[in-house]
Amino acid sequence: MSNVRDQLSAWRNPGSRRTRHTELRLSVLGPVEAWLDDQPLEIVAPQMLAVLAILATEHGRTLTTTQLAERIWSDPPMSAISVLRNHISALRREFDAYGGEGAGFEWLGSTRGGYRLCLPVKFDVVEVEALIAAADADRRSGAAAQAETKLATAWSLWRGDPLVGLPGPWAGQERNRLARLRSDLGEARILVALDLGRYPAAIMESQTLVAAEPHSERWRELLMVALHRGGRRVEALDAYRTAHRVLADEFGLSLGPEMVRLQQQLLSAEPPRLAATKLPPDLADFVGRANLVHELTEVLGADAEHRPAIAITGMGGVGKTAFALHLAHHVRADYPDGSVYLDLGGLDEHPPSTEILVTAALRKIGVGPDELPSDAAGRTALWRNTVTDRRMLLILDNARDVDQLAPLLPGTGATAVLITSRSSMAELFRARLAPLGALTTDEAWTLLQRLVTPRRMSDEPDAARAILRACGNVPVALRILGARLAARPGWRLATVAERLADEHQRLAELTLGNTSVESVFWASYRLLAPELARAFVLLAFADAAELSAAAVAALLDRDRAAAEQLCEALVDHGMLQTPAPGQYGQHDLMRLFARKVADPAQRRESPQALCRLRDFYASESRFDAAAARGAPILLAERRALG
C-alpha cells in the first residue's frame, strides 16, 4: 500500500523528480559496486545487487517478475515475487535518496508484471570490451604501442573475481562469460607483447593462462612462440613435450596440427609463426542433420582437388554456426595447414570493414604487422596468394551478404570455405548452398531428451510433444527451454507446456539469461528496410500458415509483382519461407515475434489489411469456384477469412 501512495505522490508532484541527466555506473569486475553519477549506492544485500545488475544489463527493456526470479534462483521459492518487490522498493528508496522524491519510480519503472530500468548505464565490462576491440584494431594496423596502452587501461579495470557473492543462474553464466573475456584480454596482451618484443611479459602472461586453463592448446602455442622469440628455444621444445604429456595423458586429447607444425619449425630453427587459430569447440550434444553432414563431408573430403565454398543458410536460431563447426570438426584432419574461424559480424549495426576482416584473417595465419601491406587491396591480394598455397579450412560465420564475403574468398585451390548466413546467398555463384530448416520431430525429441533426461520425457510424452510443437523444433528455442528445465528438475513438463501454449507469453518463456529467441530474431528484423518490415509484420497478422502471392498483394495493398518481390526479399533475409513458387509462410515463432515488434502504425493498419485480404477472396468467390473444380484450398486462406 505504501508503494501505491509513493507512486501517487510522485505523479502529483512532478517537480520533485530529478530532471537533470543522471547515470548509473556499475562495476562487476570484482565485488559489485554501483554509483549514481559519483555517489556510491549503499547496497550490501547480494540479491538486491543481483536485481540491479540484471535490470542494468537489460536497461530500457521490461523484465517480468518470473524472468527476474529465474535469473536469481535456480528453483524460485514461493516467496520469490514478494522478495523481488521488497528489493525493488529498496532500490527505489536508494534512488529517491539521491534524485529526490519520485526518482525511484521514474528511474526504475514498472509495467504489468515487470520492471524496467530507465537510467543510462555505464558498465566497466562494456568499457573493457571496447578497449580490447580498439586495441585489436590498433594492433592490426601496426600501432602496437597504442594497443598496449589501451590494454593496460582494460587490465586496470579488472579488480578481482567478477560478480563476487552474487547468487543465482544469471550470475553463474555471467561469471563464465567474464572468465572468457579475461582470457581474451590475456591473449591480446600476449600478442601485443610479442609484436613489441616484450618477450618476458608475453611468457609470464602465457604461463598464467596455461595454469588457469591447462587443457587449452592455444595458450601452450603462445607460450612456445614467446619462449622461442625470447631466445629460449630449448624451453620452448620442453613446453611442447609438456603439452603432449598433459593433453594426452591427463585430458585424453591429441595435439592438433598447429602445435605439431610449431614443433617442426622449432626443430628446423625456423622462426615460428602462429598457425591458424583453433576452431571453437564442437557441441557435445549436437543432434540431427546426419544425411547432410555425410553429404558435405564427402564434398570436403581429402580426395577433392578443388573444394567449393559451402554456404549454410537459414533463419536465425536453426543452428547454422553449430552445424558449420560440427562439420568442420569432422573434416579438419584433412586440412593440415590449420583452420581459420572468423565472425564477420554481419548482424551488427555497423559490421567490420573489409580491411579489418582481411587484416584479422592475415594475422590469424601468422602474418606479422610489419609484413602487412599498407592498403586494403594489397592486403586482400596477400591473403589470397597466401591461402592459395595452403590446404586450410576457413569458416566465415555470420556473413551479412555476398559483398562482405567477396574479398575473403580464396578462389580456386585446396582451401575449403564454410559460410554461415541468414541471407540466402543465392548470388554466391559456384558455391554449394545448404539451407537449414527446423529439426525434424524425431531430431527435436532427441535434442530435448538429451537436455532434460529421457525419464522426464517418457514420464510425460504428451507434454513433451506439446513443448516441441510450441518451440517449432527450432534448436535455439529447444536449447533455451532444455537448459531451463535441466536447472529445474522439479518442474513438470505439463506445466511448462501449458505456459508455452499462451502465444502472448511464449517468447518470454523462451528466454534464458542474456539469450532469447526474441533477441535472435531482432538481430535480423532491425536490418529490414521500412517497406520490408511492414510486409513482415502484416503477414504475421494474417495468421496464415501459407499465403499465395496474389493474397499477399491484397494484404499489402501492392500489385502482385511488388508483393512477390517483397516476399522474395524476406526469404533472402531468412525471415519468410517459400515451400513452392508463389507461396509464402512464416514459422510460428517468427509470426509471434513479428506481432510483438509491430509499431503503432502497423497495428493500426492490420485491420484494414485483413479486410483487403477478405475482400480479395470474396470478390473472386475463390472458395466456391475452387470447390466446384474440386481444387484444394489452403486451410490457412480459409482461416484468414475468419
Residue 576 has what pLDDT? 94
Cell 523481488 belongs to: 84
Strands 121-123 and 24-27: parallel
| pLDDT digits 0-9 by tens, 229-254 | 887 888 888 888 888 888 777 777 77
| pLDDT digits 0-9 by tens, 443-473 | 999 999 888 888 888 899 999 999 999 999 9
Residue 624 has what pLDDT? 54
CA pseudo-torsion sign 550, 553, 557, 562: negative
Among the residues of 389-527, which ranges form H helices? 402-405, 441-452, 454-459, 461-471, 475-487, 493-501, 506-509, 517-525
Among the residues of 230-299, which ranges form H helices? 233-245, 257-267, 290-299
Task: Yes or no: say if 231 and 263 are a contact pair by the CB < 8 Å rule.
Answer: no
The C-alpha atoms of residue 481 and residue 478 are separated, in whole angstroms, by 5
Residue 324 has what pLDDT? 94
Class for the domain spanning 21-196: mainly alpha
Helix (H, G, I), strand (E, B) or coil at 577: strand
The C-alpha atoms of residue 410 and residue 392 are separated, in whole angstroms, by 10
The C-alpha atoms of residue 89 and residue 92 are separated, in whole angstroms, by 5
Q: What is the CA radius of gyration of the chain?
A: 28
CA pseudo-torsion sign 590, 591, 596, 600: positive
Q: For residue 115, is pLDDT > 60?
A: yes
Q: Tell me what the mean pLDDT of segment 611-635 comes to.
A: 61
Domain spanning 528-628 has what CATH number? 1.10.10
Q: For residue 512, is pLDDT > 50?
A: yes
Cell 566465415 belongs to: 396
Task: Tell me which CATH homologous superfamily contains domain 290-435.
Answer: P-loop containing nucleotide triphosphate hydrolases (3.40.50.300)
Report in angstroms the alpha-carbon separations of 338 from 326, 387, 394, 500, 613: 16, 11, 9, 44, 55
Q: For residue 631, is pLDDT > 50?
A: no
Residue 622 has what pLDDT? 52
CA pseudo-torsion sign 85, 91, 94, 96: negative
The C-alpha atoms of residue 233 and residue 240 are separated, in whole angstroms, by 11
Q: For residue 302, is pLDDT > 90?
A: no
Topology match between the domains 21-196 and 441-518: no
Q: For residue 641, is pLDDT > 60?
A: no
- Return the C-alpha cell found at 332: 579438419
Per domain, the residue ranges of the chain are: 21-196, 214-270, 290-435, 441-518, 528-628
Domain spanning 441-518 has what CATH number? 1.10.8
| pLDDT digits 0-9 by tens, 470-493 | 999 999 999 999 988 888 888 899
Instruction: Give the other-Cβ count within 10 Å of 356's Cβ.
Output: 16
Q: Tell me what the mean pLDDT of segment 538-558 comes to.
A: 91
Instruction: Give the other-Cβ count within 10 Å of 159's Cβ.
Output: 14
> Which residues does 129 contact at the CB level (< 8 Å), separation at least 6?
181
Q: Tell me what the mean pLDDT of segment 329-333 comes to.
A: 82
CA-closest candidate to residue 26, choices 109, 167, 148, 128: 128
Number of H helices, E strands in the chain: 31, 17
Residue 640 has what pLDDT? 44
> Which residues does 552 contact at the CB level (< 8 Å), separation at least 6?
535, 539, 563, 564, 566, 567, 584
